[in-house]
Amino acid sequence: MAFARGASVESTRYGSIAVVDATGFDVASVGDADRPTLMRSSAKPIQAMAFVETGAAAAFDVTPAELAVIAASHSGEPRHTGAVRGLLARAALGADALLCGTHAPIHAPTRLALERRDEAPSPLYHNCSGKHCGIVCAYVDQDWDLRTYIRPDHPLQRRVLHLMADLSGVPRADIEIAIDGCGVPTFGLPLRAFAYAFARLAKTDALPTEHCAAASSVRDAMLGNPGMVAGEGRFDTRLMEATGGRILSKGGAEACQGLAIIDRGWGIAIKVEDGGTRAVAVAAVEVLRQLDALEATELDVLADQARPPVRNYRDEVVGEARPLFTLQRAR
């Protein structure tokens, strides 16, 4: 992707893309489809599946909107923190049970409202608080030790690793374990395996039978509640809203992105090499355009994501981002 100011290209971002179907067939690619990639928060739909499979979602009568926020990297809007707070209350827990750390809300109006009240943000506002809420609720339901729930050797984290292996087709022993920004494990695997996992979220009947119900419930919760998955104005939410449930989208830190084209059973994984997140939406919309997965009206709605303008401090448009790649179709 190039970022141009006037006629001059100021910077160029490089990356890789893999497109895989639910049988594991390589549909298309750019760059290195075998690039080892940490999924970061793109793994959250699979982590949410582990919560469902423990039985905790049924035990706490979790709504689709609450399940979507468990799979989210949310902005800390009132709808997000309210869902997390309500679910914690049903488990007789408070925000202090969450070991995700704290940061200011991504949602600017919420952040400003806290500042005006001279109120420090709690862990509820962390973009991963939904995921951590799901984990601690599962631990309450299963009577596991809450104090060490973030450790890779604890029961839910082992279940997540098992699921990651089943969805990606990568043996557990070959999946790299690293620690994510919020303290829980994240997973490293080849980019095409990342895409394969999203393809199987798209076509859940391609999964082992024991995972079909959980995958379908998480996928449908996210597609049905896109505003809970990210937030106002953010790419995951906008793409899912624009496509009306046809495309699942979940981004992760350091410029990785997972997409699932539901009706085709295709998964897409994107990794921008330098971790520059402003290139991700440009790449995602362009790969969907080249795959003929977006209608003309959807492309119009997402035009500012496909070629985002470069503005100066006078709010004048002085350039734009441009995709520079062509998908190589598999033969």
Q: Cα–Cα distance between 180 and 69 in angstroms, integer?
A: 18
Token reading at 282: 């440009």
Question: Does residue 310 lie in a domain region?
Answer: yes
What domain range includes position 31? 2-52+152-329
260 CB-side CA count, 13 A: 27
The pairing of strands 185-190 and 266-272 is: unpaired
Residue 4 CB neighbours (<10 A): 17
pLDDT in tens, 117-175: 999 999 999 999 999 999 999 999 999 999 899 999 999 999 999 999 999 999 999 99
The domain that holds 309 is classified in CATH as 3.40.710
How many domains does the chain contain in total?
Answer: 1
Enumerate residues 6+ apart whose C-beta is below 8 A from 188: 36, 37, 38, 39, 175, 176, 177, 178
202 within domain boundaries: yes
- Using DSSP's 3-state secondary structure scheme, residue 87 falls into helix
Q: Looking at the predicted structure, is the pLDDT value of residue 303 above 80?
A: yes
Residue at 264 is within a domain: yes
For residue 120, is it within any domain? no
Banded model confidence at residue 6, pLDDT cuts 50, 70, 90: confident
Q: What count of Cα atoms within 13 Å lies in the side-chain half-sphere of residue 3?
A: 15
Residues 64, 66, 71: CA angle, nearest 5 degrees: 95
- pLDDT of 94 higher than 90: yes
Q: Tell me the pLDDT tens digit for each residue of 182-221.
A: 999 999 999 999 999 999 999 999 999 999 999 999 999 9
